[in-house]
Every structure is written in C-alpha cells, then in structure tokens.
Chain A
Amino acid sequence: MAKIKFTAALKRFFPNLEELEIDGNTVAEVIQATEVKYPGISGYLLDERGAVRQHMNIFVRGELIEDRETLQDALAEHDEIVIFQALSGG
C-alpha cells in the first residue's frame, strides 16, 4: 500500500482531493487507481500518451521518478509518492 500526496494546486479542480493509500506495483498503476477515485485527474498529470507533463514532477521516496514516459518505476510497501508542479516565479 503506497501513500500518495498531491500538490494543493490540484484542489482548485478536484476540491475533494485528499491523500490516498493505494495498492500498486508501479507509479503507473497508482495513477490509474487515482483516476478511478478522481475521474479526470490523470489528464492533469499526464499527456495523452501517458507521459508526465513537462512541468509536473512525481517523487518516490524523495527522488524524482526515472521513467517519465511510461511510469514503470517500481514501488515498495509503504512508499510515499508526492506529486508536485514545477514552480514559476516573476
């Protein structure tokens, strides 16, 4: 069971979004399970090919995932996944 945390910025589009505990062997499986609970959310994180959007970051165990194209990074029990957008300034 992995724990998944989301950037607060996604609350604008998914007001009920909360931390989840989800079963999954890979990041891709966890995102698919998240989509079931919050329909449409994967389109905010991934493009139509299933790759991570350019200005999105996904961390596992504090490290950026390696496979941004197919999200096959393996997960272990109790891993924490953090989804965050790149920051911009002015």
Chain B
Amino acid sequence: MPQKLLVGTTKGLVVFEKMNQQWQVQQTHFLGMPVSIIYVNELTNTWWAGITHHHWGQKLHYSTDEGQTWLSVPPPSYPLAAQMASGKPATLKKIWSIQHGGKDYPNRLWVGTEPGGLFVSEDNGQHFELVNALWNHPSRMNQLEWFGTGRSEPFIHSIVVNPTNNNQVYIAVSCAGIFETTDSGKHWQPRNKGLIAAYLPNPNAEIGHDPHRLFACATNPDVLWQQNHCGIFRSIDGAKTWKDISDKNGIANYGFALAIDHQDDKKAWVVPAVSDELRIAPNQALSVCRTVDGGQTWQTLNNGLPQENCFDIVFRHALAIHKNTLAFGTTTGNLYLSENNGDEWICLSHHLARIDYVSFTQPI
C-alpha cells in the first residue's frame, strides 16, 4: 500500500497521498465533523477515527479497507459508580490516545481518555474495560496531583508500549505525569523524577506534572522523550529519571508536539511555542527544532516555513514522522511536510480547518 498522510481536522479527516511526485488530497472523510484522533494500527491494518461531536458526544469509527468503508463501535464507557475528584460522575469527554498492545497481544487496544480513565480492549476495540488499577490509584482523587490543564479534567494523551516487553506500558497524563505498569496494567507507579512542575508549590512533586507528549525509541525503549509544559526531557533509564534537555538559550523549550527517530535514540524534533499567555509561534516565525545528540544541542529548521506574522501553533498530536519524512499541521489550518528530516519544508495546504491530528499510514 502506498504511504498516505491522514490529517484530522475540526472539519473532517483529510487523506493526502503522494501521486506523480506530489502530495495531493485523495479523499475527505467525515466532512464537517471534528476528527479529534486518528490511529493506524499496523498490526491489524486498521484505521481508527475518533470524532468528538459538540452535541452528540464522542464517537469511534474504524476502517479495515483504508477508508473505503467505516464501521462504528461503542466508545469506552465509564462505570456508573465512577467519580471524578470533584465528586461529579465521570463520563467520557474525549478519546485522546489509542495504542495497540504489541505483538504479544495482537487483539489488545489501549485507549486514553478525558477525564483520566485508561481503557483496554482485548477484542480489537469491540468492547472496552476501564483499567481499575490506574483509576483507583490514590493520587487520582487528589486534585493537587491529577487535574485538568487547558481542559477541565485530566486526560491521557500518550500511551507507549515497550515493543520488547508488551507488559510494560507508559502513559502520560495532563496533568499528573508519567505512570508505568510492568504487568499489563495491574499496578502503576509514577515516573516523574527529574521533571519540573513550575506551576506547583513544590515543583519537584512526585505527581502533578504536565507532559505534553511522550515517546520511547522503538529500537532502544529505555530511551524516552517528552515535550513537557516546563521544557523538554529525556530519560535513558526507562523513565526512572528524567533530564532537562531544553535549549536554555534558544526556542526549543515550550511546545506541544514531539517526534523521535526510532532508529537513532539521540534524534528528535519539536515545534516550539511561546508559553503561556500568548500561545503563538516564537517571534511569530514558524520553526521546527531538531537535536541529533540527545538534546545537548538544538538546531532551528525554518527553510520553507513562514517567518513573519505567523500565529501557528502545532498541537501535541499534529506532528508525525515516517523515516526521513515529517509532517505537521497547525491551529490555523496549515499543513507542512519535509522529506529530508526537516531541512526543507513544503506547504501542502494553507486552508484546512484547525488540525488536531496528523499520522502517516506507515507510522514507524
């Protein structure tokens, strides 16, 4: 199957495909609907699309024929007794993340949601169960440890399954931080040592951190990266400790999106933004920053990107990578792509709706 680029916007799922050496729109699905998540499960060749309707609630659709036909499944559902820390009943607000369970569990799907529940399916998404061990973690009911940021309630936006040990799973919660299980979800431990929570009375608190995006290097899963509210962090010991690798003198610091090279554990990309009160591109110039030495140094890449009067922000799921090709979409509906590791960028569209999600159909 040829490589495709799936772009989730507030007005539909737009599929780009490279034809005659040019990336072009092939098809638009769910026209007019807010496609808030896309996930390509390469184990089952399934495309997943989540739609967060303003009126009708969260819906979940999948396709096993690359979008020719779509089927619906009931989305994860919170048990009647589930409560948020505020004491209000917990109901599904949004699906933020989907991740397959790895080759040892080919029918498993993990789903991260708002308001803070992690769900698991053992039948490829036909049914979901709340992961009670995480939901009942004592920290979740502490409003100084689990709380919303930019949203009213906490949400699980990143799920990392260790490809060499599928029982080991990391999740990232905004806000709470990183949690790890080594027994497929039966027990969970916070993994936030070395992170900074500058907005808390105790910036070194064990829980209460705000990771914006989390990845582990597929070929060296002990190396994890996160773009965090308070900088960029990297771990080389399986998240036991984190090191701040932000560029203290540059713009690679605050942002949402992150991409990593799964063959080279020292290479990553971020798209900086100005925190917190402005939320615009630094100096109103759109740039991507890349490190090739594990975050010791950062290079600013802006060849082909607008460098003045720019208001673009790139959300956490709107940067994707496949080998040397990167693509990102912005809040102002611009879509950019580079086929040489970010050295040069071309614009694929200036007039999409706000872009929340970007994914290649061959993810790694």
Contacts and interface: CB of A to CB of B under 8 A. Distances in A.
Interface string A49-80: 10101011000000000000000000000000
B55 A49 contact: no
Contact of B55 (A40, A48, A51, A55): A55
Given A49-B80, A85-B55, A86-B55, A43 B74 contact: yes
A13 B30 CA distance: 11
Interface string B76-120: 011010000000010110000000000000000000000000000
B50 to A, nearest CB: 14
B54 A55 contact: yes
B121 to A, nearest CB: 16
A51 B92 CA distance: 12
Helix, strand, loop or mixed for chain A's interface? loop
B126 interface: no
A39 to B, nearest CB: 11
Contact of B57 (A9, A53, A86, A88): A53
**Most A CB atoms within 10 A — which of B55, B78, B91, B92?**
B55
Contacts of A47: 57, 91-92
Interface in B47-80: 54-57, 72, 74, 77-78, 80
Contacts, number: 30
A52 to B, nearest CB: 11
What's the interface size class on A, roughly? 10 to 19
Nearest to A88: B54
What's the interface size class on B, roughly? 10 to 19
Contact of A48 (B56, B72, B78): B78
Contacts of B91: 47-49, 51
Interface in B327-345: none
**Most A CB atoms within 10 A — which of B56, B74, B91?**
B56
Contacts of B80: 49
A38 interface: no
Interface in A1-57: 9, 13, 40, 43-44, 47-49, 51, 53, 55-56
Contacts of A56: 55
B55 A43 contact: no
A9 B80 CA distance: 29
Contacts of A49: 78, 80, 89, 91
A55 B92 CA distance: 15
B54 A48 contact: no
Contacts of B54: 55, 88
Contacts of B57: 43-44, 47, 53
Given A43-B74, A53-B55, A55-B55, 15 more contacts: A9-B55, A43-B57, A44-B55, A44-B56, A47-B57, A47-B91, A48-B77, A48-B78, A48-B92, A49-B80, A49-B89, A49-B91, A55-B54, A56-B55, A86-B55
In the complex, the 5 A-B pairs of residues with the closest C-beta atoms, listed nearest first: A48-B77, A85-B55, A44-B56, A55-B55, A47-B91
